[in-house]
Amino acid sequence: MSRSKKIIVAAVAILGLAAAFSYWQVKQFASTPLTLNQEKIYTLPAGTGRVALEAQLESQHIIPESIWFGALLKLEPELATFKAGTYRLETGMTVRSLLQLLASGKEAQFPLRFVEGQRLKEWLATLRAAPYIKHTLKDDQFATLADVLRLDQNQLEGSFFPDTYLYTANTTDLSLLQRAHARMRTTVDEVWKGRADNLPYKNEQDLVTMASIIEKETGVTAERARVASVFINRLRTGMRLQTDPTVIYGMGDSYNGTLTRKDLETPTDYNTYIINGLPPGPIAIPGKASLDAAAHPEKTNYLYFVADGKGGHTFTTNLASHNRAVQAYRLALKEKNEK
């Protein structure tokens, strides 16, 4: 073999070794773990190119500095189709799995829990404080929300379904409320259609109002239908509901955590110690269990109930028995406080 041929063969061999080494280095870089010690939320802005992406990832200490980033995108072009969005990066991810995530467009989902039994104003405060929400409501006034959703302001309370809602970054506050409202509308329609016969409700709103009272009166699932029976029996016999949560709701921000006799005697539209029948609307956000209880109350003769000091309630059919149950509760409470 001539000298020139030997030189060519050697050069080809060297180039082959260099290419193999480079290929190995790119693959090694692709398998390199991210430089994260905890989960990170990363936002890739629209219009970001390869060079800018590499600079961002390095400056935010997500990937190690390397000369092989561009080569990886050329070697595996499917990784170069990254999409703008907000992503959840987890420890243990590699450079390749990061790029696969950005190429998939599977943005991070954030949970927002709307809790049953809370008032709508509490929900709105929770929504206002949630991360990555795009706020379009100028304020949290009921009038503002009613205008945007085209609902009656007086019927907003109780019009949204309590649940955990998942959303991606830049989801609007309004869209989440619309989802919760649609869920409640569908749920109430289904419950109303399947309700028991001869209930003393004029319309669906009465059922939701009753459900909201049940929601505030007990957190024990097994008791909900029994609590409902007490209020249904009172409505049927013309007795006032006399339920403290409605009084508290009617007091608004003036409630300081303690109900006094004066509070029970002060007229408001929601003071069921004074008004007859149901209050004008819901006093909280009821969950599905309370809606079902309002639609299917137990068949009982109970007219009273009081806390039993053990997390539940004692139910009675007459005032004398109720007063004894109240005394028993007070005694149990006193003994508990003395321990």
Q: What is the pLDDT of residue 20?
A: 58
* 213: exposed, middle or buried (Cβ count in 10 Å: 0-12, 13-18, 19+): buried
Residue 18 in this model has a pLDDT that exceeds 90:
no
Domain annotation covers residue 30: no
β-bridge pairing 304-307 and 313-316: antiparallel
Percent over 70 (pLDDT), the chain = 92
Q: What is the pLDDT of residue 9?
A: 47
| Tokens linked to 61 | 């200490």
Residue 220 in this model has a pLDDT that exceeds 60:
yes
d(CA 230, CA 215): 14
> Would you tell me how many other CB atoms lie within 10 Å of the CB of residue 337?
7
Of the pLDDT bands very low, low, confident and very high (cuts 50, 70, 90), residue 310 is confident
Instruction: Select from 141, 163, 187 the last residue of a domain.
Output: 187
* 188: exposed, middle or buried (Cβ count in 10 Å: 0-12, 13-18, 19+): buried
Domain annotation covers residue 17: no
In order of 67, 86, 182, 335, the CA distances from 243 in angstroms are 71, 47, 29, 26
Instruction: Select from 90, 108, 126 the last residue of a domain.
Output: 108
d(CA 63, CA 56): 9
Residues 160, 237, single domain; the answer is no
Domain annotation covers residue 8: no
Domain annotation covers residue 20: no
Domain annotation covers residue 10: no
Residues 259, 168, single domain; the answer is no
Range 297-305 average pLDDT: 95
Residues 284, 246, single domain; the answer is yes
Residues 73, 202, single domain; the answer is no
Domain annotation covers residue 1: no
Domain annotation covers residue 285: yes
> Would you tell me how many other CB atoms lie within 10 Å of the CB of residue 129?
9
The parent domain of residue 309 ranges over: 196-338
Instruction: Select from 161, 187, 213 the last residue of a domain.
Output: 187
Residues 94, 124, single domain; the answer is no
Domain annotation covers residue 33: no
Which residue bears the tokens 């004692």?
314
In this structure, what are the phi and psi dihedrals at residue 306, rounded to the nearest 5 degrees?
-145, 155
Residues 163, 283, single domain; the answer is no
Residues 215, 135, single domain; the answer is no
Residues 83, 100, single domain; the answer is yes
Range 51-70 average pLDDT: 92
Residues 99, 116, single domain; the answer is no
Residues 297, 217, single domain; the answer is yes
Residues 201, 332, single domain; the answer is yes
Residues 271, 175, single domain; the answer is no
Spell out where the chain has E strands. Answer: 40-44, 85-89, 110-113, 133-134, 164-167, 171-172, 304-307, 313-316
In order of 124, 213, 266, the CA distances from 260 in angstroms are 29, 20, 10
pLDDT tens-digit map of 94-133: 999 999 999 999 999 999 999 999 999 999 999 999 999 9
Of the pLDDT bands very low, low, confident and very high (cuts 50, 70, 90), residue 3 is low
d(CA 267, CA 258): 17
Helical H segments across 76-201, by residue range: 95-104, 120-129, 142-149, 173-193
Q: Give Cα 286 distance to the centre of its chain.
A: 14
Range 303-316 average pLDDT: 88
Range 262-286 average pLDDT: 95
Q: What is the pLDDT of residue 129?
A: 95
Report how many domains make up the chain. Answer: 3
